[in-house]
């Protein structure tokens, strides 16, 4: 097989020389728009799933707090600033004292520190 140029080749078939010209693949604007639309649809579905999970967790938290009302306790939910992990804290309703954390904030701080030391955080300010 001879290559006569980029994207071109010739070969012999049954004694006749034939030339094949390969056309380069070019993304048209419609293909790019379709790819962009597909990516947006995937993002939208992921956001919808996350919102649904959040709604389910909020309802569960409200239900748990209603059950704990008679014991003067309530749960609070927060997201750790650096790790993005949800932390649940159990509070005393009268004293506002934190009785328990799941998972512990100290452990999340340690994890964030290890990630930072390992260079796993990406600087988003640029």
Residues 96 and 111 in one domain: yes
pTM across the whole model: 0.56
Residues 67 and 99 in one domain: no
Longest dimension (CA), the chain: 96
Task: Report CA torsion sign: 111, 112, 113, 114.
Answer: positive
Residues 58 and 78 in one domain: no
Query: Which helix or strand (DSSP H or E) is residue 121 part of?
Result: none
Query: Which helix or strand (DSSP H or E) is residue 38 part of?
Result: helix 29-68
> What distance in Å separates the CA atoms of residue 72 and residue 108, rounded to the nearest whole number?
27
Distances (CA, A) of 29 to 32, 33, 34, 40, 81: 5, 6, 9, 16, 40
**Model pLDDT, residue 99:** 94
Residues 31 and 60 in one domain: yes
In the chain (126 residues long), the average pLDDT of successive 10-residue segments reads 49 56 66 84 88 90 93 92 90 93 90 84 57
Residues 65 and 77 in one domain: no
**Model pLDDT, residue 19:** 60
Residues 95 and 63 in one domain: no
User: What residues have CB less than 8 Å from 82, skipping those under 6 apart?
Assistant: 108, 109, 112, 115, 116, 121
Its domain, for residue 38, covers 26-71
**Model pLDDT, residue 5:** 47
**Model pLDDT, residue 101:** 93
> What distance in Å separates the CA atoms of residue 74 and residue 99, rounded to the nearest whole number?
10
């Amino acid at each position: 097989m001879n290559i006569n140029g980029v994207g071109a080749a010739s070969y012999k078939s049954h004694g006749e020389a034939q030339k094949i010209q390969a056309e380069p693949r070019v993304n048209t604007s419609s293909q790019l728009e379709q790819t962009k639309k597909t990516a947006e649809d995937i993002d939208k579905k992921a956001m919808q799933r996350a919102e649904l999970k959040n709604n389910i967790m909020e309802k569960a938290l409200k239900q748990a707090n209603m059950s704990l009302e008679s014991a003067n306790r309530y749960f609070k939910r927060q997201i750790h600033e650096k790790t993005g992990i949800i932390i649940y804290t159990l509070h005393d309703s009268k004293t506002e004292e934190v009785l328990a954390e799941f998972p512990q904030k100290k452990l999340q701080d340690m994890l964030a520190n290890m990630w930072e030391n390992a260079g796993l955080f990406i600087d988003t300010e640029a």
